[in-house]
Amino acid sequence: MFEFVKCFYTVVGALFVIYLLGYSTFLIASVIAGSLDLYKESNKRRYHNEISHDYYVPVSIVVPAYNEEESVPLAARTIGGLLAEADIPYELLFVNDGSRDKTWELITGFAKEDEHFIGISQSRNRGHQNAVLAGLMEAKDKCDITISIDCDGQDDINAMDAMVDAYVNDGCEVVYGVRSKRDTDTFFKRFTAESFYKLLNAMGAEGVYNHADYRLMSARVLHEFANFKEVNLFLRGMVPL
Ligand code: UDP
Ligand code: MG
């Protein structure tokens, strides 16, 4: 009888050990498979169409554009003109964010005519923050610094000089463009924007007052930033972290 009980417990013990081994192998395999999936997912491009020139430039200007057929030519002319004048090798990277007007046609036209202009296009409208991020991630491997700026001409492009200066002379890897006045905005826009910043600060999120996404970021910072797996992005809240 004693032998039988001993044998029984040995078999149960062995089965338990086999179960534990099997289960932990399964767990480890799922974690590895999950990580591989995540890795593949993060490498997947979020846009489907791109016109790109393969070269290295010190400065990449990232411009998100959603239904901006009126502003794209202006941005190309003013920003392109400024950088050409300053004699800084640059690229102007437009991110078409699923526009329904002629924005993408215009971008591809500029890219064919002039090697300074390149464009990427998201498969659908994904919102300002995702468009900026797509551009920054595209630029980070082929430049030293990026400057993100809106397409609509509301930001003072002349401030880029001071931004680049802060990087070159003071080693600042992130430089925020801050609006000193909002006189091109309607009262409603000013009020909602100011309330938004105040609310954010009250909730403990340290935003930079009156800073949208007009910002210099070094490629070094962007490589670190690429490790964030956050899906619901709020860049101007995350960068100060
Ligand atoms: N934008 C975008 N996707 C959107 C909405 C806007 O890429 O879904 C671009 C837009 O073309 C502009 C920038 O993001 O270059 C800022 O947009 P907007 O001027 O509407 O924002 P605001 O000035 O009100 O912050
Ligand atoms: Mg605007």
| Mean of pLDDT over the chain | 83
Residue 53 has pLDDT above 60, yes or no: no
Q: Which of the pair, 131 or 208, is modelled with greater confidence?
A: 131
From residue 180, give the alpha-carbon distance in Å to each of 131, 159, 171.
Answer: 25, 11, 24
145 within 8 A of 160, measured Cβ to Cβ = no
Question: What average pLDDT does range 122-128 have in this prediction?
Answer: 95
Residue 67 has pLDDT above 90, yes or no: yes
Residue 139 in contact with ligand 1 by CB distance below 6 A: no
The pTM is what? 0.73
Gap from CA of 133 to ligand 1 centroid (Å): 13
Long-range contacts, stretch 15-19, CB < 8 angstroms, 24+ apart: none
- The Cβ-side half-sphere exposure at 223, using a 13 Å CA radius, reads 9
Residue 129 has pLDDT above 60, yes or no: yes
111 within 8 A of 118, measured Cβ to Cβ = yes
Closest CA to 133 of 39, 36, 34, 237: 237
Question: What average pLDDT does range 22-49 have in this prediction?
Answer: 59
For residue 39, what pLDDT is reported?
54
Look at ligand 1, atom 8, and give the residue with the nearest C-alpha. Answer: 127
The gap between the terminal CA atoms of the chain, to the nearest Å, is 68
- Give pLDDT tens digits for 147-174: 999 999 989 999 999 999 999 999 999 9
Residue 64 in contact with ligand 1 by CB distance below 6 A: yes
- State the pairing for strand pair 145-148/59-65: parallel
Closest CA to 138 of 88, 93, 89: 93
Q: Which atom of ligand 1 is nearest to the CA of 68?
A: 11
- Give pLDDT tens digits for 136-148: 999 999 999 999 9
For residue 238, what pLDDT is reported?
67
Q: Which atom of ligand 1 is nearest to the CA of 67?
A: 11
Distance CA 73, CA 110 (A): 9
Question: Which residues keep their CB under 5 angstroms from ion ligand 2?
Answer: 152, 154
Q: Which tokens is 199 given? A: 């609310």
Q: Is 14 helix (H, G, I), strand (E, B) or coil?
A: helix
